[in-house]
Structure 1
Amino acid sequence: MDSTSPSRAKTDMQLMSEYQYRSLCQDIGTSKVIDAKRDLMDISEVLQNQALGNGDVFMGSGSNREGFRLQGSDVDSMFWPDNHRVIWDLSQSFSYKIQRKTLILSDSSDSPPGYTLLYLLSPSLNQEVQKACVKMDNKHYISSSKYIQSKCSPTYLNSNPRMHGPCISKSHGILDIDYAYGFFSDFWPPSASSWTERSHSWPKPHIVDDVLKSGCHFVAIGHELGRHEHNEWRISFSLAERKLVYSMNHCQFITYGLLKFFLKKIINDGQSDDDKLLRSYHMKTAIFWVLQQNAIPEWTPQNLLECFWVCFKQILKWVYEGVCPNFFIPNNNMFLKSIHGKEQHVLFIRLYKLYEQGVLECLFIKSCEGCQDILQNHISICTDEDSLISEADFDVKLFEEIFYNDTLPALNAQMCLKYLYTIEQSIGLPLSKYQVIVVQRHTCSILQKLAFILHMDSLTQKNKRKYRADKLFCQILKFAASFGCITDMLFIAIYYYKTYRYMKALFIINLIRIKLARPYVIQNFDEVPEMYSMALGSQSWSTKMRHAVAWNIKLHNKMPYISELIPEHQSSLRNDIPSLMVPPFILLNMLEILCYNHTDPMKAQKNLYILKINLLLDEGYRISTDVSNIAWHILGMCQQMTGHFQDALYSYQQSLREDQLHSIKTATEKRILEILEKNF
């Protein structure tokens, strides 16, 4: 038995709770960081849906959309046709103009709780919907299995998609994205009506009203034990769940994050995907139930571990009983298909052993470095927001998130103009301070894409019109660079190189090099220069981004910016990678070598040597590990074009040893083969 007195044990628990809270805030994010992430995703999603207008609505979901950035986690995306709506009874059809909406009736009379059949009430012009229809009792129902199969075609995804529950999972380099395709209902499901009756203490009434107005979705998977497994659809509450997670205070959100870490690092550690019975969704369900039952009167950093332990005991109880009630539809037992019999018994024994260890032991907190000093000396940990993150560190996380969200798809001039029109309309909206800066970033990126797209379209024009067009494209790129980050000037240099104005390109390259040499410039999101706060503290984020941020350059694979990189774009695109991300100083040196190769070959050789030395000596300051493969590859290209074939082979081999974020392995191997065939 532990000889520590109850009062002392409680104090130890509080100290360790504060320690763990601070540690998790550094890993997951402070409340300000999480708010910023969510705001950026919210506005990016709105812009994408308003601008695309292709008939489908896009919505991010899952942990990523909630604000987590967990290593190895999937990114979840939902799509549904905007001109189709699901209703629960025929009286709801009067809410729509049937000329504009195809109506679908939910029929759950013969389905397990949480699942339903979808009966097509009016003809659909959507080809995927038409192909997915099956006839039962002289009625046309939309088959979930047939519908998801139609989305596996090359029209939507390239080769090698795999099914992952109701989703089509696709690897994009080192990132996995789950695509869920389904339908939407504006109305709250009758089978979830008990949720509103239970929601007295949590969430607050205005959140309940907002959730009810958000409706629900239907994703393409049936119940394995249902009579119509291949035709049924699962009712999804993804949007409602996101709103509930957003309504959590930060300690509740951090507890949710701790449950996720506990699941991944301890419960499921070392297990294959097939052997993982507990999932992240079960952790979310547990904290929802604990919050609604008001089992913990106060959620604060001091009692974080107590909050976690209550949630863990809830999961332990569910595993023992073999019942995990869905938060919205409690008679939907989410353990029914997976946790029963021998597997249930084995899982319970494993969890109970962790329970017997106690919260500090099972989380390995007592063995953490520094914990013993805290316990022995009763060192109190400050958990105030301002003490958890500095202004400079917050800025870096904000800029990193802006870069992460700068992915609006715009592959033709019409789409670019739609985005710009949508952005113009957003100026009058009540945007948050975080959303203003990401809209600025999106505008810069869209203008850059527009300039290069229009340039490609103008190549067949007559000389006079081509000259005017060229002047316009230069103005667009310069305007974009005026409110972008430092490295956005590289697109001007690329354009000059592409149009054979090598001296002008070299002039821009020299300007960029001067700006990058400033001691306060952030060139890696993992490190903040010491001079940053002194030089730019209290300045606006727009000013900081223009003068002190140099992030990787995104070269979109469907837009050939530099002809020498076409094989790399093609290799990457075949693997569903949207763009090449090139470290700015690598691209800068590459452009300089390319320009000098046309104007002064001796200087090209000198700059090649500088590029090689910089790459060899860089210790992650300017080149992060995820882009080091393309850095070595580009060095190899420059060595190959200047006749240094042996060095080029070494660089290409080094590129192959690095993480293949860009999936350019095919291009690298082809370049190696080309050298061997011609020179050895």
Structure 2
Amino acid sequence: MDFFSRNVETGFQHLCESVFVRLCQIVGTSVQLAIRRGTEDIREMLDRRVAENNEVLVMRSGSEREGFRLRASDVDVMHWLNNHRVIWDMCQSEYYYTENKTLILLDSSESPPGFALLELLTPTANRKVQSACVPMNETLYISSSLYRQQTQTNLFPGSTEHGPCESGEILGGIEYDFAWCFACDFWPPSASSWINRCSSWPEREVVDDIIRNGCHFVPIGNPLGLHEHEEWRISFSVAEHKLVHTMNHCQFLTYGLLKIFLKEVINKQSEDTNKLLCSYHMKTAIFWVIQQNVVPLWCPQNLLAGFWVCFKLLLKWVYKGVCPNFFIPLNNLFLTKIHGSAQRSLFLQLNGLYEKGLACLLQSPSIRSYITDVLYNPRLSICTNEGRMKSECEYDEELFYEITRNLSQNPQNLACCIKYLQALELMIGLPLRQYQVLMLQKITASILQNTAFTLHKMYTNTGLNKQMYIADRMACHMLKLAAKFGCISNMMYIAMHYYKAMRYRNALSIIEIIKVKLAQPGLMYERHVDSERYTEAVGGQSWSTKMRQAVAHDIILNNFVCYIHELTTEQLSALQNNNGSLYIPLFVVLHFVEFLCYRHIDTTLAQTALEELHVLVHHDQRLYVPIHYRDISWEILGICQQMTGNLQDALFSYEQSRTQYPWNKSRNATQMRIQDLHIS
């Protein structure tokens, strides 16, 4: 290309390598991607194994599930009722026990490709499904538009309906899409042609796995169909993330470059066209390019050639006004948006970029400097060895962060805890990567903690001293075991248990040990770490040792379990708002429990603990009190102030809590505490 006429032989290769290195920094190395996907796979596998028939299943989808951690990546989550299943014809009903499964029959006779009506075949006990049913031609169908309305949760402030999803923006600019859908265990007949196309990519084993996992139906109809408000769209979300995971690293980085190019270049061309193309179109383009073997070799030295082939395909699609769905080609993804004058404007803009050649990438702020470095330094030596791109500390930070974000298990009772432990025991025997074993280890610690507090509560209520003594010993044993499996934060649960059991001096001794560990210069707290000191302290040791000795994260309380009586109101309030966990900064919990214990031993030291908590909440610069958790942090400070009789300060703290972003969904509790103060 003319862009590289300065040095045709080496210029293109060097540029590809430079962009490859930059994309590894932005998107991630292959090791980082494996960690992100592998830890999530473990969580998802465990959730499936313990799910009851009448529960709601939850699955992350979209960019995050694929392995991206871009700032612009949405949080996409799919929910579906485990006891409802879609079938394609009546003969498939024999695979289900209809006493505990609601069957839904697909009817695509009057719908465009990729869409269908859903007929309710068997009775359902779910109120939202019942309310979404509409009669048509003496048959009861589930209306997609009504189901969207019924399942709208308003989970976060400002949420709106967007396509099939409830969408909005979480504090910090993170956009989310929550979709309620129905699962189907069978592969769509309308997508059977895809199976026959898979001769070169993906491998047969992957194809079989995708077919076994079926598909989903999301509540959105085709605007050009006869039944827009009743129709449902077939979602291949599971198949797509499996396909993305089979890409080699260069292919995935090319996909990442397409997403960056869309956001930073294409969408900046004109306000009239900046919403016509989306990431899904980029994904569809690279799927087609990989499967059609247009690029002979996907490697760092050829990365931009792959990008350019995808861009040309996209340009061709816009010119023709046809973007064929990868699984159902007759489903034109451009049909309702890219046509007429909008299509012409978009084509002219894309063609203008195309005529510039790869120089169009200079319009991307994320990539530009890496292109100019090569142009001005043609002899620049570029290392594409991924092992040298990230330090040991950076990989550890990635792993422990991913493990923490996948700790979402909230067993509701002892039977559920036991079910989790049994499932974990079986999973230990699976062929797992070392980081997946660590993920299992951390989940095991979490479930042991849940079991300990659940067990202690059960037998405390009996009033039988012997049973209470046995339960207390078992609980202590499980919590100490969890601390050995987990990280420094897991020790905090031992202190909470001792406080709850009125063993205040024991709790304080644990708190002192935790303080010493948290004062280590090599501590990795959430994503805050001094990499040099961390490496000096635990470099070269096993991940398990590192986690136990040098890693800490914020405290997660299962709202179905009582840990500290003083937080019961907040936990119940969160549960009423469908929030299963309270997320509290570790240092806030530390000072809180310390204050609660010293109240029974030494009021002077209790006041000191309260002052430390006051300074932390008032003056922390998001190091120990993340902005997401300031609601509960102010709440806890107010609880402590109210307990000491300082009602004016308590009222101020509660008011501050009420003005924070309601991450923990406990605002009702805050309002109740404010009312109690006014009454008193």
Fold match, TM over 0.5?
A: yes
Q: Are the aligned partners of 1:374 and 1:380 in contact in 2 as well (CA < 8 Å)?
A: no
Q: 1:258 to 1:661 in 2, by over 3 A?
A: farther
Cα distance in 2 for residues equivalent to 1:183 and 1:607:
51
**What aligned pairs does 1:352-431 form with structure 2 within 5 A after superposition?**
352-357=351-356, 358-364=359-365, 367-368=368-369, 371-372=372-373, 375-376=376-377, 378-431=379-432
Letter in 1 for 2:164: P
Letter in 2 for 1:510: E
> SS in structure 2 opposite 1:184?
strand
1:57-100 residue CA offsets vs partner (Å, 9 max, x unmatched) = 44332222111223354333334445554444455556666677
* Corresponding position of 2:59: 59
User: Which stretch of the first structure deviates more once superposed, 174-183 or 241-250?
Assistant: 174-183
Q: 1:70 to 1:656 in 2, by over 3 A?
A: farther
* Corresponding position of 2:494: 492
* Corresponding position of 2:343: 344
Letter in 2 for 1:438: M
**What aligned pairs does 1:281-680 form with structure 2 within 5 A after superposition?**
281-357=280-356, 358-364=359-365, 367-368=368-369, 371-372=372-373, 375-376=376-377, 378-464=379-465, 465-566=467-568, 568-569=570-571, 576-611=578-613, 621-627=623-629, 630-631=632-633, 634-635=636-637, 638=640, 661-662=663-664
1:166 and 2:164 equivalent?
yes
> SS in structure 2 opposite 1:592?
helix
Q: Are the aligned partners of 1:24 and 1:254 in contact in 2 as well (CA < 8 Å)?
A: yes
Q: Are the aligned partners of 1:173 and 1:660 in contact in 2 as well (CA < 8 Å)?
A: no
Q: 1:417 to 1:47 in 2, by over 3 A?
A: same
Q: 1:367 to 1:275 in 2, by over 3 A?
A: closer
CA shift for structure 1 position 256: 1.3
Cα distance in 1 for residues equivalent to 2:678 and 2:513:
38
Q: Are the aligned partners of 1:77 and 1:179 in contact in 2 as well (CA < 8 Å)?
A: yes
* Corresponding position of 2:117: 117
User: Which stretch of the first structure deviates more once superposed, 258-267 or 80-89?
Assistant: 80-89
* Corresponding position of 2:143: 143
Q: 1:374 to 1:515 in 2, by over 3 A?
A: farther
* Corresponding position of 1:253: 252
User: Which stretch of the first structure deviates more once superposed, 471-480 or 279-288?
Assistant: 471-480
> SS in structure 2 opposite 1:368?
helix
User: Which stretch of the first structure deviates more once superposed, 560-569 or 186-195?
Assistant: 560-569
Q: 1:411 to 1:390 in 2, by over 3 A?
A: same
Q: 1:305 to 1:368 in 2, by over 3 A?
A: same
Cα distance in 2 for residues equivalent to 1:440 and 1:32:
20
CA shift for structure 1 position 113: 1.0
Q: 1:598 to 1:89 in 2, by over 3 A?
A: closer
> SS in structure 2 opposite 1:462?
coil
Q: TM-score, normalised by structure 2?
A: 0.87
Cα distance in 2 for residues equivalent to 1:216 and 1:440:
31
Q: Are the aligned partners of 1:158 and 1:576 in contact in 2 as well (CA < 8 Å)?
A: no
Unaligned runs of 5+ in 2: none
CA shift for structure 1 position 484: 1.4
> SS in structure 1 opposite 2:412?
coil
> SS in structure 1 opposite 2:557?
strand
Q: Are the aligned partners of 1:255 and 1:307 in contact in 2 as well (CA < 8 Å)?
A: yes
Q: Are the aligned partners of 1:88 and 1:189 in contact in 2 as well (CA < 8 Å)?
A: yes
Letter in 1 for 2:161: M
Q: 1:72 to 1:466 in 2, by over 3 A?
A: farther
Q: Are the aligned partners of 2:144 and 2:231 in contact in 1 as well (CA < 8 Å)?
A: yes
Q: 1:555 to 1:371 in 2, by over 3 A?
A: farther
Q: 1:487 to 1:388 in 2, by over 3 A?
A: same
Q: 1:406 to 1:300 in 2, by over 3 A?
A: same
Q: 1:159 to 1:361 in 2, by over 3 A?
A: closer
Cα distance in 2 for residues equivalent to 1:587 and 1:69:
29
Letter in 1 for 2:520: R
> SS in structure 2 opposite 1:530?
helix
Q: 1:641 to 1:106 in 2, by over 3 A?
A: closer
Q: Are the aligned partners of 2:182 and 2:218 in contact in 1 as well (CA < 8 Å)?
A: yes
User: Which stretch of the first structure deviates more once superposed, 74-83 or 505-514?
Assistant: 74-83
Q: Are the aligned partners of 1:15 and 1:375 in contact in 2 as well (CA < 8 Å)?
A: no
Q: Are the aligned partners of 2:4 and 2:12 in contact in 1 as well (CA < 8 Å)?
A: no
Unaligned runs of 5+ in 1: none
Q: 1:51 to 1:232 in 2, by over 3 A?
A: same
Q: 1:180 to 1:369 in 2, by over 3 A?
A: closer
> SS in structure 1 opposite 2:540?
coil
Q: 1:256 to 1:513 in 2, by over 3 A?
A: same
1:368-419 residue CA offsets vs partner (Å, 9 max, x unmatched) = 3894377325322212121122222111111100000000132222222221
Q: Are the aligned partners of 1:325 and 1:332 in contact in 2 as well (CA < 8 Å)?
A: yes
Cα distance in 2 for residues equivalent to 1:385 and 1:427:
30
Cα distance in 2 for residues equivalent to 1:574 and 1:177:
22
Cα distance in 2 for residues equivalent to 1:228 and 1:292:
34
Computed over aligned residues only, the root mean square deviation of the Cα atoms, in angstroms, reads 3.7
> SS in structure 1 opposite 2:305?
helix
Aligned length: 675
* Corresponding position of 1:70: 70
1:17-58 residue CA offsets vs partner (Å, 9 max, x unmatched) = 323322322232211121122121112112112212133544
Cα distance in 1 for residues equivalent to 2:236 and 2:271:
28
User: Which stretch of the first structure deviates more once superposed, 142-151 or 318-327?
Assistant: 142-151
Q: Are the aligned partners of 1:173 and 1:577 in contact in 2 as well (CA < 8 Å)?
A: no
Q: Are the aligned partners of 1:289 and 1:327 in contact in 2 as well (CA < 8 Å)?
A: yes
Letter in 2 for 1:541: W
Q: Are the aligned partners of 2:19 and 2:367 in contact in 1 as well (CA < 8 Å)?
A: no
Letter in 1 for 2:390: I
CA shift for structure 1 position 151: 3.4
Cα distance in 1 for residues equivalent to 2:617 and 2:98:
62
User: Which stretch of the first structure deviates more once superposed, 9-18 or 188-197?
Assistant: 9-18
Q: 1:256 to 1:418 in 2, by over 3 A?
A: same
Cα distance in 2 for residues equivalent to 1:657 and 1:315:
46
User: Which stretch of the first structure deviates more once superposed, 622-631 or 401-410?
Assistant: 622-631
Identity of aligned residues (%): 49
* Corresponding position of 2:188: 189
1:8 and 2:7 equivalent?
yes
* Corresponding position of 1:199: 198
User: Which stretch of the first structure deviates more once superposed, 508-517 or 78-87?
Assistant: 78-87
1:208 and 2:204 equivalent?
no
Q: Are the aligned partners of 2:323 and 2:332 in contact in 1 as well (CA < 8 Å)?
A: yes
Letter in 1 for 2:117: L
1:404-445 residue CA offsets vs partner (Å, 9 max, x unmatched) = 000013222222222112112223322332221111111111
CA shift for structure 1 position 195: 1.9
Q: Are the aligned partners of 1:75 and 1:177 in contact in 2 as well (CA < 8 Å)?
A: yes
Cα distance in 2 for residues equivalent to 1:95 and 1:203:
28
Q: Are the aligned partners of 1:172 and 1:575 in contact in 2 as well (CA < 8 Å)?
A: no
1:250-275 residue CA offsets vs partner (Å, 9 max, x unmatched) = 11111112222233334446999996
